[in-house]
Amino acid sequence: MATSSQSTGNPNGREQMAPRCAAIVGPYLSGKTALLESLLFVTGAISRKGTAKEGNTVSDSSAEARARKMSVEVTAATTDYLGERWCFLDCPGSVELGQEARNALLAADVAIVVAEPLIDKALMLAPTLKFLDDHQIPHILFINKMDVATHRVREMLDALQAVSSRPLVLRQVPIRSAASDSGEVTGYVDLVSERAYKYHPGQESDLIKMPEEVLPREQEARNRMLESLADFDDHLMEEILSDVAPPKDEIYQQFAKDLAADLIVPVLLGEAEKDGGVRRLLKALRHEVPGPEAAAQRLGISGFDASTLVFKTYHQPHAGKLSLARVFGGKISEGAVLNGVRVAGVLKPKGNGFDKVTDAKTGEVVALARMEEVKTGDLLTASGKKNPDFAWPKPLEPLFGLAIDAENRADEVKLTAALAKLIEEDPSLTFTHDTDTHELLLSGQGEIHLAIAFDRLKNRFALPMKHRRPQVSYKETIRHGVKQHSRFKRQSGGHGQFADIHIEIWPLERGKGFEFHDRVVGGSVPRQFIGSVEDGARESLVRGALGFPVVDAAVALFDGQYHSVDSSDMAFKTVARQAMQEALPQCGPVLLEPIFSVEVSAPAEFTARVHNLVTGRRGQILNFQAKEDWTGWEVVEALVPQAELHDMIIELRSLTLGIGNFACRFDHLQELSGRLADKVIEHRQGILQKGAA
């Protein structure tokens, strides 16, 4: 059994562990919030249970969560179980809110991965399990909703094993009712203790005599369990080979050791809504989850200057900024100064709120009040020294964006401050100003993610928003060159304005941008005006003949005339703009569309669908290959027009059980002609005319 350096003696003979933290993760709607509710109920932190349907769970207390009947951010709740403190982090399951779970998992000692007992949903666990194994975070699989399970546990486990790189070790077999046709699960046999239990809704399960019909299944499952464990322990292997029944304690210790090292994934069964299997889960957590020093080691902060890790930030209407943090060393009290910032208050999370406490010790999860300069991923110490071994992973890259405007123009100043708060709460959200299209873009992980952000802006900041599909940064260029002579002459009262130039325009290779050449000989245009001609030419590139910014063109000034009194910088700048406006339409203007290099990742069984998706979006497939480090996944490399990328993630998810993903970056501009180009140009002209009207 793992023991903690922070442990203290306990009257019942067992070393008491420092407070521990478990993140509850898993696919959307698998029952994580129901499990938290049950864990809090069973441990006595709450006396009445709520349900997702009634919208009265301890977790999901925000207006956005209640409205959607889903978790929209991590909820922390503290409870005590047999004298030991636990903080549970209920994470949203939606893939679009994946940043929340990632941040919570890094701070936790263990993950409880909640899955539904459905074979065809097993793949949905893949990204979570991969993240856990990449970071070597111990995890237990809790197969929930056993009350409605229709598959056999063994079949379910085979499907789940296919997506786990660590062996899944089943620790229970269900007892099914002989009376019911559906074989309703009425209890379970614990494979280590070989005891049979009958679920007793709302109470502890009843110990019963092992039903005879279960025995063969129990024996087979127990042997499998022991064999899996023996793969990691020679002593256990010897015992099995020589037919010696290993003592119970040895098996429990082996589970604790292998779990801590992320070598195996213990599997437990239950029904969170009826508290079934929840006490068994709690016991496994109590005895087998390592103390906070193991997580500290994993994070590279072990023994470093009594650090506290901030893994979530909330901005609350009344309490202000709260930094949810795990204490990994030392003790934190109100008034302490961490990273140069004063802790204005220490609060214990209880799901739907926080209670003020005086201090927090190693292992505890607390919210630190009003540490304005502190952000998620910060490691706080009294000295404020930086730990060279600690790095917080970068947030997820945005996959879906919308152009936004405040419904009331006057709110635009408020908007930036409100969005900064939302982004502090959720760093997988980004807010940018597109310098090409002049749009404000809010980007994130998908439609739901952004819809939640809009709701928060409205509910919390009274900022109703308008949004639309963002414009594509089309450009235009020219196909051939022309020479152009233009003159600007104006006589108005005093002295007039005069400038006369001969320029030549020609196309450049793709990606070369703009060039200006001075080929004036004999001073036909004096030195001091040549810069003005260049400025004028550059300015007119902002909008070419088709209405888009012009790229990859060169302009040479090779002749001209001036007037000693009437010529000026302004006159030469104006004539340059005029010359460009006259010349560009004669140069065979052509639309250029941005093409992105895209890498789509999905399990190999979806690769054919990914191909169709990409080609259906005018994409060009370059390559596909096994995804490095991801068993069973493939990456399709392709070039896809930006215009087709906008909602690609939505279709990709619908084709891949929600787990397909992509990364993209701008690659090049490519000529677009024909009907599609005509439509784009027509649309642009419409916008420009409206703007001019």
Ligand X SMILES: Nc1nc2c(ncn2[C@@H]2O[C@H](COP(=O)(O)OP(=O)(O)OP(=O)(O)O)[C@@H](O)[C@H]2O)c(=O)[nH]1
- The DSSP output letter for 427 is T
Of positions 4, 43, 62, 71, contacts ligand X by CB under 6 A: 71
CB-based contacts of 114, cutoff 8 Å, min separation 6? 24, 25, 26, 30, 31, 32, 35, 142, 144, 272
Cβ 90 to Mg ion, closest distance in Å? 6
**Ramachandran category for residue 136: left, alpha or beta (phi over 0 → left; psi -120 to 50 → alpha):** left
Nearer to ligand X, 5 or 51 (CB): 51
The residue with its CB nearest to ligand X is 93
Nearer to Mg ion, 62 or 172 (CB): 62
Nearer to ligand X, 43 or 71 (CB): 71
Binding to ligand X (CB under 6 A): which residues in 254-273? 271-273
Q: Based on the shown chain and the rule CB under 6 A, indicate whether residue 53 belongs to the binding site for ligand X.
A: yes
Nearer to ligand X, 379 or 450 (CB): 450
Cβ 129 to ligand X, closest distance in Å? 16
User: For residue 557, which phi and psi values (nearest 5 degrees)?
Assistant: -100, 120
> Are 135 and 46 contacting, i.e. CB atoms less than 8 angstroms apart?
no
Nearer to ligand X, 118 or 214 (CB): 118
Helices (H), 439-485: 447-461
Q: Based on the shown chain and the rule CB under 6 A, indicate whether residue 92 belongs to the binding site for ligand X.
A: yes
Cβ 36 to ligand X, closest distance in Å? 8
Name which of 202, 199, 169, 204 is nearest 184 in CA terms: 199
Q: Based on the shown chain and the rule CB under 6 A, indicate whether residue 58 belongs to the binding site for ligand X.
A: no
Q: Based on the shown chain and the rule CB under 6 A, indicate whether residue 124 belongs to the binding site for ligand X.
A: no
Query: Could you tell which of Mg ion, ligand X, none binds residue 363, using a CB distance below 5 to 8 A set by kind?
Result: none
Of positions 17, 18, 25, 29, contacts ligand X by CB under 6 A: 29
Stretch that binds ligand X, among 101-109, 141-149, 227-235, 439-447 (CB under 6 A): 141-149
350 vs 333: CA distance, rounded Å: 19
> Are 312 and 304 contacting, i.e. CB atoms less than 8 angstroms apart?
no
Cβ 683 to Mg ion, closest distance in Å? 42
Cβ 52 to ligand X, closest distance in Å? 3
Q: Which helix (DSSP H) or strand (DSSP E) does residue 32 occupy?
A: helix 32-42
Q: Based on the shown chain and the rule CB under 6 A, indicate whether residue 432 belongs to the binding site for ligand X.
A: no
Of positions 43, 62, 99, 144, contacts ligand X by CB under 6 A: 144
Query: Could you tell which of Mg ion, ligand X, none binds residue 53, using a CB distance below 5 to 8 A set by kind?
Result: ligand X
Of positions 148, 178, 570, 622, contacts ligand X by CB under 6 A: 148
Number of C-beta neighbours around residue 472 at 10 A: 18
Nearer to ligand X, 92 or 641 (CB): 92
353 vs 394: CA distance, rounded Å: 29
Strand positions, DSSP E, 308-392:
308-316, 320-327, 331-333, 337-338, 341-342, 346-349, 354-357, 359-361, 365-369, 379-380
Number of C-beta neighbours around residue 194 at 10 A: 14
Task: Answer positive or negative: Cα dihedral of 544, 549, 553, 556.
Answer: positive
By CB under 6 A, how many residues form the interface with ligand X? Answer: 22
199 vs 194: CA distance, rounded Å: 16
The distance of Cα 377 from the centroid of its chain, to the nearest Å, equals: 14
Q: Based on the shown chain and the rule CB under 6 A, indicate whether residue 359 belongs to the binding site for ligand X.
A: no
Q: Based on the shown chain and the rule CB under 6 A, indicate whether residue 278 belongs to the binding site for ligand X.
A: no
95 vs 654: CA distance, rounded Å: 12
Nearer to Mg ion, 60 or 288 (CB): 60
Which of helix, strand or coil describes residue 578?
A: helix
> Are 188 and 269 contacting, i.e. CB atoms less than 8 angstroms apart?
yes
Of positions 40, 42, 45, 52, contacts ligand X by CB under 6 A: 52
Nearer to ligand X, 50 or 536 (CB): 50
Query: Could you tell which of ligand X, Mg ion, none binds residue 411, using a CB distance below 5 to 8 A set by kind?
Result: none
Name which of 511, 586, 592, 501 is nearest 553 in CA terms: 511
Nearer to ligand X, 29 or 189 (CB): 29
Nearer to ligand X, 30 or 79 (CB): 30
Q: Based on the shown chain and the rule CB under 6 A, indicate whether residue 28 belongs to the binding site for ligand X.
A: yes
Binding site for Mg ion (CB under 5 A): 32-33, 71
What residues make contact with ligand X under the rule CB under 6 A? 28-34, 51-53, 70-71, 92-94, 144-145, 147-148, 271-273
